[in-house]
Amino acid sequence: MNLPLALLAPWRFNLAGLRWFALGLVVLEVFGVAGWACFMHTTSWWVGSAAIAGVFEAMLWNSVFSYMVLPAIDAHQLRLPGMQRGLFVGWAFYGVLSLLLPAIGIGLWVGKVAVIAVFVGLFCLAGLLWALLPRYLGMVVYAPFYAAAVHARFVLSLGHSGFLIWALPLALLLLLLAMVRVHRLVVASEPFVSGRHGPPVLRIGRGIGGAFAAGGGRYGSRAIAARPDWMQARASLRGCGPGHPVASLRLALGGSLMPTSVVGWLHRKMAMLAIIFAFCGFMLWQILGRASQGAPTIDRHTSQLLVLSMFGGFVSASMVFNCGIELLQRWRKSSAELPMLALLPGLRSGGFDVKRQLLWAILLPPLRIQLVLMAVLLALATSLHVDTSIKLYVLASQATAIVALVAYTLLITGGQTATAGRWANLGIGLFWGVLLTFPVFVSGLDLHLANPAMTRLTVLFDAGWILLIVILAWLGRRGWHGLQQRPHPFLPS
Amino acid sequence: MSAVRQAREVTAFAPLAVRDLVHCYEGSNVLTGLNLTVLQGSVLGLIGRNGAGKSTLIRAMLGLLQPLSGMASVFGEPALKLSDRTKERLAYVPQQPEALAWLTAQQMLDYVGRFYPRWDQSFATKTLERWQIQPNKLLAKLSPGERQRVDLIRALASQPELLVLDEPAAALDPVARRELLREIALRAGESGTTVLFSTHIVSDLERVASEVAFLHQGKLLMQCTVDETKERYGRLWLPGPIGYAAPTQSLSRRRHDDGSLSLVVERDAQGRWPEAASLPGARVDALGLEDLFVEIAE
């Protein structure tokens, strides 16, 4: 593989949708950085611009460049000479580019080229590692970066030396970690069969669901087979049978929908719940610590609510992600659950057709949790007397996750898995982008409610949520039409 | 009642029937205007090379995929909109059963059995034991052969009137394969179960099938009884100089390096071979089912 081919590799090996997504991210990054620079008339404008660049670069490395590990794995398994080296050259080139452009574009104006380069580099590595490490570890790795971003102003205002003293060794350490991880994934004998330890890049690689065709994925046959007996969540057949289509369908769809005992459920969710609580506890501690140093009460309440809304966002988004992946896995396989369900008698009940029963079976369990979360956050927002725009932001984040769940379910059951796959990366990227960047700006820039910039920022992010909801609703409508036109919902697509 | 009308009614309520079925994947045709009827009580072996379209045809016949055009029916009902009553009468085993990997074999049979009013629990339990499958082992942890056997037990225990098996012997060892064929023959003989099974193992087909349908490149080249294939089809060999006399209608045509021609030909309604067979130097060889398959499929 020669140099031009190596440079084209990230674009050639990725799906068309991802290429457009990457372009969109770059455009948003450029406009975001420039807009912030023009918008904020303070001496610390560059902090916000660097944070914007960092977040978009993290998304780019998480969603686009991380997928280069897939052809690298293929190249190793097929023993293709020279290809791996070419891919790594391409990776290195885009890595340097990702650091240089923001460092020059922002750093030169304020004389902090090295600081910006390292700062953005940390974000790039965080994004990459989030894709390469198992999800639970990815979140742990991401947390310190997030905290660093939250404290960006404080840390960066110390000047070059203070920041670089801890950030540079950390960046090198993470680079080493990324290299080791890539190497281990590439040389693994069966990289796609890793169950819950599988990194997101392999779980959603090849256009979401591709890895699952071979029985990979957390609930795929091979992953279940690889798991020891004591780690299996045993199914409960109670309440299944003709006349009970919802429970029966949930058992047949398996995965997170499968009815289990309470112990089985805790067993399955234990690790994820522990990580989510640890992460949110860390964030809460960070922000409350800051708040106790003299921030006004109203701001403290806003900070608390934002942390809780992030927790809610994580839980809701995880459910959308898991549900989407599992459904894609089911609807892509033509010889697994679909033929069995299509020919199983007795799935109609109470005058409702099987399509409606199926939607209830899929949507009810996650929707119940999402709606409870939404109600709790609304109650908190009301009791804490936060600003209406903040309230709207918190509610919109939950509403977006709910609409996303419904939209992806309709798209997949409506036979539009390709559309679902195409939009999934964009949806996930935008969701995390909007959810995570707002608290970064609010906390990192010490914006107060009285500050007109804060109002403008909140309105901007509220508009982001609404735009996302509109896109998802449109996708859901397409899925609904697709489902209505299908003679029965168990046709693979 | 006229014979034509009677034939139409038989087709209309046949366990399985497809008319003018067309389907394609990513632009290439898999099924091209296919017609096939599986009559009550018959054991039809669907034979064809890998990629001939056997699995696609079976799935279209059962309403497991939506064809581009054409119509498929099961016991007279549109395959894509089967009633519960019809679903209770049929059982299908896919080529590589992968469903419900998170259940144990016992749980899977218990779950599925709840939906079939004629479920034979004792058959399921005894056969699991006879085939030495651990009932409490997760399906995901079974070997492909064991998993196929569990799915066969699932299909047979529902006591179907129509049994559809997609390459049922693909993952089975010779002993299990022999047992399966015996079970199919028993069901067909004693209970009058209609069976459609696809395979490319010709000996299996000869052992149990009453009829054979030959699928090649998405087209049904022939459908007749197994005995008929030996009587009705033959290989016509024509030396180079009389190659010009080769009949235009043949199932396959191959020219050899020495200029001679081999064709698979069919007797006409009066039982006569094509005229070219009587030319000096021409020869008609009888073909076994496997030879016939190879000649046509090559």
- How far is B216 from chain A, CA to nearest CA, in Å? 22
For B79, nearest residue in chain A (alpha carbons): A487
- Quick check: B122 and A359 in contact, CB under 8 A? no
Domain boundary among A200, A222, A237: A200
Cβ contacts of A414 within 8 Å, gap of 6 or more: A478, A479, A480, A481, A482, A483, A484, A485, A486, A489
Chain B residues whose beta carbon lies within 8 Å of the beta carbon of residue A240: 111, 114
Mean predicted confidence (pLDDT) in A346-368: 84
The answer to whether the CB atoms of A340 and B100 lie below 8 A apart is yes
Chain A residues whose beta carbon lies within 8 Å of the beta carbon of residue B85: 345
The answer to whether the CB atoms of A336 and B98 lie below 8 A apart is yes
The answer to whether the CB atoms of A242 and B114 lie below 8 A apart is yes
- Measure Cα distances from A174 to A96, A127, A146, A168 in Å: 15, 11, 15, 10
Q: What homologous superfamily is domain B3-89+160-217 in, according to CATH?
A: P-loop containing nucleotide triphosphate hydrolases (3.40.50.300)
Instruction: Centre a 10 Å sphere on the Cβ of residue B272 and count the other Cβ atoms it contains.
Output: 10
CA A326-A241-A256 angle, to 5 degrees, is 20
CA atoms of A20 and A490, how far apart (whole Å): 31
Find the CB nearest A343 among B92, B96, B140: B92
Same domain for A313 and A458, yes or no, is yes
CA atoms of A329 and A323, how far apart (whole Å): 10
Same domain for A188 and A288, yes or no, is no
For A223, nearest residue in chain B (alpha carbons): B140
Instruction: Tell me the backbone φ, ψ of residue B90, rounded to 5 degrees.
Output: -130, 155
Q: Render each residue's pLDDT in chain B as its tens digit; 298 residues.
A: 566 666 666 566 789 999 999 998 877 778 888 999 999 989 999 998 888 889 999 999 999 999 999 999 999 999 999 999 999 999 999 988 888 988 999 999 999 999 999 999 999 999 999 988 999 998 988 988 899 999 999 999 999 999 999 988 877 888 888 888 888 888 888 888 999 999 888 888 888 888 999 888 888 888 888 888 878 888 888 888 887 888 888 888 888 888 888 888 888 888 888 888 888 888 888 888 888 888 877 7
The answer to whether the CB atoms of B87 and A219 lie below 8 A apart is no
CA B238-B243-B248 angle, to 5 degrees, is 100
CA atoms of B179 and A109, how far apart (whole Å): 81
Chain A residues whose beta carbon lies within 8 Å of the beta carbon of residue B84: 345-346, 348
Q: How many CB pairs under 8 A join A and B?
A: 107
**Number of domains composing chain A:** 2
Antiparallel, parallel or unpaired: β B90-93 and B43-47? unpaired
For A237, nearest residue in chain B (alpha carbons): B111
More reliable by pLDDT, A34 or A295: A34
- Quick check: A340 and B90 in contact, CB under 8 A? no
Mean predicted confidence (pLDDT) in A5-20: 76
Question: What is the domain partition of chain B in residue ranges?
Answer: 3-89+160-217, 99-159, 231-297
| Residue A260 is assigned to a structural domain of this protein | no
- Does residue B143 belong to the interface with chain A, where contact is any CB pair within 8 Å? no
Output the pTM of the full model.
Answer: 0.75
Instruction: Give which of A222, A329, A338, A343 to mutate to test B binding, by max B Cβ within 10 Å.
Output: A343
Find the CB nearest B103 among A235, A336, A339: A235
Domain boundary among A180, A200, A220: A200
- Does residue B81 belong to the interface with chain A, where contact is any CB pair within 8 Å? yes
For B137, nearest residue in chain A (alpha carbons): A229
pLDDT at B253: 85
Find the CB nearest A344 among B63, B64, B115: B115
**Residues B53-57: contacts with CB under 8 Å, at least 24 apart:** B53/B23, B53/B215, B53/B217, B53/B218, B54/B166, B54/B167, B54/B198, B54/B215, B55/B94, B55/B95, B55/B166, B55/B167, B55/B198, B56/B23, B56/B25, B56/B30, B56/B31, B57/B18, B57/B21, B57/B31, B57/B215
- Which of A406, A422, A425 lies closest to A414 in space, CA to CA? A406
Tell whether ipTM is more than 0.95. Answer: no
Q: Residues A51-73: pLDDT tens digits?
A: 888 888 988 888 888 888 888 88
Residue A191: which domain range?
A: 1-200
Q: Residues A440-487: pLDDT tens digits?
A: 566 555 555 566 666 777 777 778 788 888 988 998 999 999 999 999
The answer to whether the CB atoms of A339 and B62 lie below 8 A apart is yes
Same domain for A195 and A290, yes or no, is no
Same domain for A121 and A16, yes or no, is yes
Q: Is the pLDDT of residue A393 over 50?
A: yes
Chain B residues whose beta carbon lies within 8 Å of the beta carbon of residue A337: 99-100
pLDDT at B43: 92
H helix or E strand, kind and range, residue B136: none
- How far is B137 from chain A, CA to nearest CA, in Å? 9
CA atoms of B158 and B89, how far apart (whole Å): 8
pLDDT at A453: 67
- Quick check: A26 and A55 in contact, CB under 8 A? no
- Quick check: B227 and B279 in contact, CB under 8 A? no
Side chain identity at A245, as an amino acid letter?
Answer: P
The region of weakest confidence among A257-266, A370-379, B48-57, B288-297 is A257-266
Phi-psi region of A446 (alpha: psi -120 to 50; beta: other; left: phi over 0): left
Q: Residues A185-215: pLDDT tens digits?
A: 888 877 776 556 678 777 655 444 443 343 4
Handedness of CA B137, B141, B144, B147 (dihedral sign): positive
- Which of A435, A429, A397, A445 lies closest to A150 in space, CA to CA? A445
Find the CB nearest A346 among B63, B66, B84: B84
| Residue A372 is assigned to a structural domain of this protein | yes
- Does residue B65 belong to the interface with chain A, where contact is any CB pair within 8 Å? yes
Interface of A with B in 251-270 (CB under 8 A): 251-252, 254-255, 258
Find the CB nearest A235 among B94, B102, B116: B102
H helix or E strand, kind and range, residue A378: helix A354-383
The answer to whether the CB atoms of A224 and B101 lie below 8 A apart is yes
| Residue A43 is assigned to a structural domain of this protein | yes
Mean predicted confidence (pLDDT) in A16-32: 81
Interface of A with B in 325-344 (CB under 8 A): 333-340, 342-344
CA atoms of B153 and B91, how far apart (whole Å): 11
CA atoms of A476 and A84, how far apart (whole Å): 40
Residue with tokens 């909109």: B81
DSSP assignment of A131-163: HHS-HHHHHHHHHHHHHHHHTHHHHHTT-HHHH
Find the CB nearest A333 among B78, B84, B98: B98
Domain boundary among A161, A179, A200: A200
- Does residue A242 belong to the interface with chain B, where contact is any CB pair within 8 Å? yes
For A235, nearest residue in chain B (alpha carbons): B103
Residue with tokens 């455009």: A27
**Percent of chain A at pLDDT above 70?**
70
Same domain for A119 and A10, yes or no, is yes
pLDDT at A158: 44
The answer to whether the CB atoms of B87 and A338 lie below 8 A apart is no
Chain B residues whose beta carbon lies within 8 Å of the beta carbon of residue A348: 84
Chain B residues whose beta carbon lies within 8 Å of the beta carbon of residue A242: 114-115
**DSSP 8-state code for residue B35:** E
pLDDT at B161: 94
- Does residue B170 belong to the interface with chain A, where contact is any CB pair within 8 Å? no
Chain A residues whose beta carbon lies within 8 Å of the beta carbon of residue B168: none
Same domain for A188 and A304, yes or no, is no
Interface of B with A in 44-63 (CB under 8 A): 59, 62-63
- Which of A118, A141, A116 lies closest to A128 in space, CA to CA? A141
Exposure string over B207-246, b if 16+ CB within 10 A, otherwise e: bbbbbbbbbbebebbbbeebeebeebbbbbbbbeeeeeeb
The answer to whether the CB atoms of A335 and B98 lie below 8 A apart is yes
| Widest CA span in chain A | 72
- Does residue A231 belong to the interface with chain B, where contact is any CB pair within 8 Å? no
Interface of A with B in 142-201 (CB under 8 A): none
Same domain for A196 and A294, yes or no, is no
Q: Is the pLDDT of residue A281 over 60?
A: yes
CA atoms of A217 and B10, how far apart (whole Å): 47
**What's the pLDDT band for A435 if we cut at 50, 70, 90?**
low
Report the half-sphere exposure of B223 (CA within 13 A, side-chain side): 16
Chain A residues whose beta carbon lies within 8 Å of the beta carbon of residue B162: none
Residue with tokens 């064991």: B146
